[in-house]
Amino acid sequence: MKLTVDGKPHEVDVPQEMPLLWVLRDVLGITAVKYGCGVAQCGACTVHIDGVAVRSCQVAAADVDGPVTTIAGLGKTGAMHAVQAAWVTHQVAQCGYCQSGQIMQAAALLSETPDPTDADIAEAMRGNLCRCGTYPRIKAAIKTAARRLNAKPSPVPAPGTDR
Ligand code: FES
Ligand code: FES
């Protein structure tokens, strides 16, 4: 079966019902996508299919109907995605295990809702668990990422002006 993952085409020989998470980790070696619960209860395995956040432990390989993006392919070549950069700014991670899923969920939220309210953040992120309790930093980082993404580029100073 054919899959596009992080912009690269792959042909994989796996059972149709194999969860996408297994394909990503065990077949393609993308171990940055994490296995937490396997039953849609933790969000650690979150990736995007066609830009939408999904639990990869719950999607059969044969049902993948669009390009897959993992945390490994979220940023552009050589640059972090704004959400990843905000995670660094706020030093969000503790043990880090849940964080690739948190970041993928947050990135999907901001692509749909560029200026989320506290309630939007709570609703979008409520299925992503963090046993280290980094929730306040996650919320702060999402707000920082939103602010940066929404900031208009500063005008280029006219030659001869000193700003
Ligand atoms: S591993 Fe998929 S939701 Fe927990
Ligand atoms: S940082 Fe440890 S589980 Fe979230």
Whether residue 47 is predicted with pLDDT greater than 90 in this model: the reply is: yes
List pLDDT tens digits, range 126-149.
Answer: 999 999 999 999 999 999 999 999
Pocket mutation for ligand 1, best pick of 20, 24, 31, 37 (most atoms within 8 Å of C-beta): 37
| Angle of the 99-112 helix axis to the 135-150 helix axis, nearest 10 | 40
Q: Establish whether residue 59 lines the binding site of ligand 1, counting it when its CB lies within 6 angstroms of any ligand atom.
A: no
Q: Residue 45's closest CA among 27, 23, 65, 66?
A: 23
CATH no. for 2-72: 3.10.20.30
Among the ranges given (16-25, 70-79, 135-144), the one the predictor scored with the smallest mean pLDDT: 70-79
**Tens-digit pLDDT profile for residues 87-97:** 999 999 999 99
- Ligand 2 touching residue 129 (CB < 6 A): no
Q: How far is the CA of 37 from the centre of ligand 1 (A)?
A: 5
Give the predicted TM-score (pTM) of the model. Answer: 0.93
For residue 77, what pLDDT is reported? Answer: 75
Residues 46 and 53: beta-carbon distance below 8 Å? yes
Q: Look up residue 34 and give its amino acid.
A: K
Mean pLDDT for 9-27 is: 98
| Whole-angstrom distance, CA of residue 16 vs CA of residue 75 | 29
Q: What is the mean pLDDT of the chain?
A: 94
> Ligand 1: which of 24, 54, 57, 98 to mutate, most ligand atoms within 8 Å of CB?
57
The span from the CA of 54 to the CA of 43, in Å, is: 9
Please say if the pLDDT value at position 163 is more than 50.
Answer: no
pLDDT band at 103 (very low <50, low <70, confident <90, very high): very high
Report how far Cα 25 is from the mean position of its chain's Cα atoms: 16
CA of 31 to the centre of ligand 1 (A): 14
Strand partners, 9: 4
pLDDT at res. 17: 97
Q: Name the residue ranges covered by the structural domains of the chain.
A: 2-72, 82-149
| Cβ of 89 below 6 Å from ligand 2 | no
Q: Of 69-78, 84-93, 105-114, 119-128, give the lowest mean pLDDT range.
A: 69-78
Q: What is the DSSP string of 27-71?
A: IS--TTSPPS-SSSSS-TTEEEETTEEEEGGGSBGGG--S-EE-G
- Output the pLDDT for position 128: 98
Per CATH, 2-72 and 82-149 having the same topology is answered no
Ligand 2: distance of its center to the CA of 45 in Å? 13
CATH architecture for the domain at 82-149: Orthogonal Bundle (1.10)
H helices within the chain, ranges in order?
Answer: 20-22, 82-89, 99-112, 118-125, 135-150
